[in-house]
């Protein structure tokens, strides 16, 4: 398979992973009966964002890299906030 085709498949896979976060959020919200953001949403956002950033680097697209790079920082921060909240709950 040509390198270009492999990168195209990589890009579609990354975008699919990124899209999966919306599905996870929708299912969690339906179960809760209200809008919620499960932790899995942020992990899928982070994984998809990193892979899309890599794809944007290969494509040499600075606009796409900027957008995904900023998003990745937000996803990491949200996961840090969630981890901090869990740590506070587990303290005696």
CB atoms within 10 A of CB 51: 19
Alpha-carbon distance of 42 to 78, in angstroms, equals 7
Alpha-carbon distance of 44 to 69, in angstroms, equals 15
**Residue 30 confidence (pLDDT):** 96
What does pTM read for this prediction? 0.87
pLDDT per position as a tens digit, 1-46:
798 899 999 999 999 999 999 999 999 999 999 999 999 999 999 9
CB 37 within 8 A of CB 60: no
Query: Mean pLDDT, to the nearest integer, of 56-82?
Result: 96
Residue 92, pLDDT > 80, answer no
């Amino acid at each position: 398979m040509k390198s270009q085709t492999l990168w195209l498949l990589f890009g579609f896979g990354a975008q699919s992973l990124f899209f999966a976060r919306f599905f996870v959020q929708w299912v969690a919200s339906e179960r809760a009966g209200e809008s919620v953001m499960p932790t899995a949403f942020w992990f899928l956002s982070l994984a998809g964002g990193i892979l899309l950033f890599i794809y944007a680097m290969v494509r040499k697209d600075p606009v796409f890299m900027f957008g995904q790079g900023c998003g990745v920082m937000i996803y990491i921060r949200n996961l840090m906030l969630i981890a901090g909240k869990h740590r506070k709950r587990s303290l005696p």
